[in-house]
Amino acid sequence: MLFRSQRQFSLFFGDSWEVTPELTLEAGGRWESVRYNIDNQTWVENPTPTPGGVDGDPLTLYDNAVLVRGPVLKTKRNFDYFNYSLAVDYMISPAFSTYLRFTNGKKAPDFGGIQGINTPGLIATSFPDPQVIQQFELGLKYNDHGISVQAFPFRSEEHTSELQSH
């Protein structure tokens, strides 16, 4: 039986500081640990081919390379990240407030990407980089006389790289 697992552990924290009644600072963070452990079944060309291929006809070359089970290869990859978010909240009036937030984080490669590391060469040399996400967010909130309007425009930048060989 092939073994495949992904284990993830995270610790979160956050706090806010009221600098003045109108101005608040916020910070938060997350430490994350992701562990992949995958058995990959390999397939190799039959070392004892049947004369004439599967159909017994030597003129049909396409069926001469029958694949059989090869060795099971183990792929293990570990990722540890610290992500953070910082914000400034400002109350312009009791009815209108705003905030600006910056977030910087990393995300482990998905399970399928790690599962694709399935040859001896790739297992020895390929270590995918995390996806890096940075986001700026502006929050606008208005709440007065039964009218509540909120807007949260943001800009996200995603940085990914190809599979890295080390």
pLDDT band at 115 (very low <50, low <70, confident <90, very high): confident
Is the model's pLDDT at 42 over the cut of 90?
Answer: no
Instruction: Give the pTM.
Output: 0.70
SS3 of the chain: the string is: CCCEEEEEEEEEEEEEEECCCCEEEEEEEEEEEEEEEEEEEEEEECCCCCCCCCCCCCCCHHHCCCEEEEEEEEEEEEEEEEEEEEEEEEEEECCEEEEEEEEEEEECCCHHHHHCCCCHHHHHHECCCCEEEEEEEEEEEEEECCEEEEECCEEEEEECCCCCEC
Q: How far apart are CA 136 and CA 153, in angstroms?
A: 9
At residue 1 the predicted structure's pLDDT band, cuts being 50, 70 and 90, is low
Express each pLDDT in 92-105 by its tens digit. 999 999 999 999 99
Tell me the per-residue pLDDT of 116-166, one tens digit each, with 9 for 90 and over.
888 888 888 989 988 899 999 999 999 999 999 999 999 999 876 554 444
Residue 52 pLDDT more than 80? no
pLDDT tens digits for range 65-83: 667 788 898 999 999 999 9
Find, among 4, 77, 5, the residue nearest to 41 by Cα: 4
User: In whole numbers, what is the pLDDT of the chain averaged over residues?
Assistant: 87
Q: How confident is the model at residue 44 (pLDDT cuts 50, 70, 90)?
A: confident
